Structure 1
Amino acid sequence: METKDKFLSFNLGVRDTAVISLQYITEVLQVSLPEICGVPQMPSCVLGIYNWRGEMLWLVDLEAMLGYPPISQGANLLSKMMAIVLENNGKYLGLLVRQLIDIEWLETHQMKPPSAELFYPKISPFLEGYFINESEDVIFNLDAMTIIQAPIWKIHH
């Protein structure tokens, strides 16, 4: 049986590609650093709060959270970054990513289970699994629910 799902693909770090299932994505928007209101005493991957449709949206540097060098360090003040807004039970979280690639249909039954040896320790808890595409690249399938429910946010909800 063919089971295809729609995913949004984007770059992680310089070489990696990741996807998140579209069912958890509410919106994708462009954000620039001056629009983000920094919040003191936060983990370094938490960039702060952004005013989104009149709501406070927490923005996270996804690369920093997963153990890559932070995107926000390389960004100058004028550069626009893409934020992927995840939603779960009325809770929203914005993930800042380097660059969106595409919307892809992937065969969910071809997803391989994550194995700790293959990936950075920081990324493993957030992986649902991974795909190997036609050019034999690994595509990380990130688990939106785990990201939204990460202990790191518990302090603030």
Structure 2
Amino acid sequence: MIDNAKQVSALTRVNSPTNITKNSPPVGEKFLRFQLGEEGIGLLPLNVIKQVMQVSVAEILTVPQMPACVLGIYNWRGEMLWMVDIGKFMGFPNLATGGLENLMAIAIQVEDQYLGLIVQQINDIELHDLNQVNMPSLGLFSPEILPYLEGYLIGADKEVLMVLNGEAIAQAPLWQLNR
């Protein structure tokens, strides 16, 4: 039995150890936490994530005349996976890919649709209570982000955690126009 939340490995750490008691399971939903640019922190529900992986920049085939956030296509499990800088897509500065050989990617699936989300850094898997999610507002978030947000949480260090809507991201109008 784990006596201290700090003893749990980095991939299974629970963000709110107060939710854990000896006789009851943790309450909430599991999310993958990752960086969106320098200042943004995103949370994506695990139920839409198929794989987290490191991809070689050399293996991403650029496609001409695509939006700046689309890095190209990648051969993933024998399928063509569009690779998107999710931070850039949501209005954050470009991911600094110059000089990098490998990038972190999150492959998501919504219905029959797959999409690869390139992120600056993958931090952890966290457990969050959905009842604590606040509704997003235009005053707090830019118009580019709002359609893809379920809401937000305030983290332990008072940071804003954006709870992303995987379905809205996978079905964004930008992908439909460029298919």
Which of residues 71, 75, 79 is equivalent to 1:47?
71
1:149 aligns with 2:171: yes
Residue 67 (structure 1) aligns with: 91
Counterpart check, 1:106 vs 2:112: no
Q: Helix, strand or coil for the counterpart of 2:139?
A: helix
What is the count of residue pairs matched by the alignment?
154
Is the CA contact 1:33–1:77 (under 8 Å) kept in the aligned structure 2? Answer: no
Aligned to 1:124: 146
Counterpart position of 1:139: 161
Instruction: Say whether the 8 Å CA contact 1:127–1:141 is kept in structure 2.
Output: yes
In 2 relative to 1, CA 54–77 (structure 1 residues): closer, same or farther, beyond 3 Å? farther
1: distance between equivalents of 2:55 and 2:145? 24
Give 1:23-38 correspondences, 5 Å limit: 23-38=47-62
Runs of 4+ in 1 over 4 A off after TM superposition: none
Matched-pair contact (CA < 8 Å) for 2:58–2:101: no
1:40 Cα deviation after fit: 1.0
Normalising by structure 2, what TM-score? 0.82
Which residue of structure 2 aligns with residue 93 of structure 1? 115
Contiguous gaps of at least 5 residues in structure 1: none
By how many angstroms is 1:78 displaced? Answer: 3.7
**Higher percent of residues as strand:** 1
* 1:3 Cα offset (Å): 4.8
In angstroms, what is the RMSD of aligned CA positions?
Answer: 1.3
> What is the alpha-carbon distance in structure 1 between the residues aligned to residue 177 and residue 148 of structure 2?
19
Using structure 1 for the length normalisation, give the TM-score: 0.93
CA distance in structure 2 between the aligned counterparts of 1:121 and 1:45, rounded to whole angstroms: 16
Q: Is the 8 A contact 1:48 1:58 kept in 2?
A: yes
> Aligned partners of 2:40 and 2:83: how far apart in 1?
21
Aligned partners of 2:136 and 2:151 also within 8 Å? yes
Q: CA deviation at 1:77?
A: 4.4
1:84 aligns with 2:84: no
Match for residue 40 of structure 2? Answer: 16
Output the amino acid matched with 2:63.
V
Flag structure 2 segments of 5+ consecutive residues without an equivalent. Answer: 1-25
If you compute each CA radius of gyration, which structure gives the higher value, 1 or 2?
2
